[in-house]
Amino acid sequence: MRMMLIAGALTLLAACTPAQEAEVMSEGCDARGVGVWTVGEESLSVEANTVGPDCARAVATFVIRNQSGEPIWADARISSDIMTLAPAHDPAAMNAALGEWTTNSSTMQSTSALPEWPVNATGPENGEFPFYLNDGYTRESYEAMRTANDPMFCYVQGMESLSCVIYGDGGIEQVGLQTFPG
């Protein structure tokens, strides 16, 4: 559904006269935030951008780059669907919001901080802040990941959830999502 909306918006913009298009784009929401994720001896660049006719209809990208500048993780979302970006209604406010988005401020900075997966439970348990693993993890592989204590970056990816990625072997892997009451 969202892809159809985005395609429709692009079709509408393409139908604009050059003067109408210039007016829409001059009101745009071109903004940028940059952060650093320090992982041992490495400093990874964390970049976020928005582009759109206005901030309520902007698309936000979230990119992590290795020290060579190569992108090793990318995510794109509609800015109004992201709790930390939705209140930003102009490029200046969006620049500040994107700066916050690129900061690893989660309490879970490494895999050892992930919630325990008790024996006989169907998954990790964390009270009112549940953590939902991506497919493919068993209790044993999950507990091994927690023991490995790999660096982890969690960023807001919706209105009531964080996406958590881990860094290891030069790449990024999404582990899962943590939800929080909203």
Report the 10 Å Cβ neighbour count for 6: 13
- pLDDT for 26 equals 52
CB 141 within 8 A of CB 150: no
* Closest by CA position to 51, among listed 31, 35, 33, 71: 31
Encode pLDDT of 118-156 as tens digits. 999 999 988 888 899 999 999 999 999 999 999 999 999
Q: For residues 91 and 30, what is the distance between their CA atoms, to the nearest angstrom?
A: 6
Q: For residues 171 and 28, what is the distance between their CA atoms, to the nearest angstrom?
A: 33
Helix (H) or strand (E) holding 145: helix 139-148
Binned at pLDDT 50, 70 and 90, residue 6 comes out as very low
What is the DSSP code (8-state) at residue 134? P
Encode pLDDT of 15-43 as tens digits. 444 444 444 445 799 999 999 999 999 99
- Encoding tokens for residue 106? 């989660």
In one-letter notation, the amino acid at residue 182 is G
Would the pTM count as exceeding 0.85?
no
Q: Is 68 helix (H, G, I), strand (E, B) or coil?
A: coil
Strand partners, 132: 177
- pLDDT for 182 equals 63
Strand order across the beta sheet in which 59-65 lies: 31-39, 42-51, 59-65, 71-78
- Residue range 74-88: average pLDDT? 97
* 81 has a pLDDT exceeding 70: yes
Binned at pLDDT 50, 70 and 90, residue 181 comes out as confident
In one-letter notation, the amino acid at residue 52 is G
Binned at pLDDT 50, 70 and 90, residue 100 comes out as very high
- pLDDT for 125 equals 86
CB 86 within 8 A of CB 77: no
* 4 has a pLDDT exceeding 70: no
* Closest by CA position to 133, among listed 172, 158, 141: 141
- Residue range 149-168: average pLDDT? 94
- pLDDT for 107 equals 87
| Between 14 and 163, the higher pLDDT residue | 163
* 160 has a pLDDT exceeding 50: yes
- pLDDT for 8 equals 41
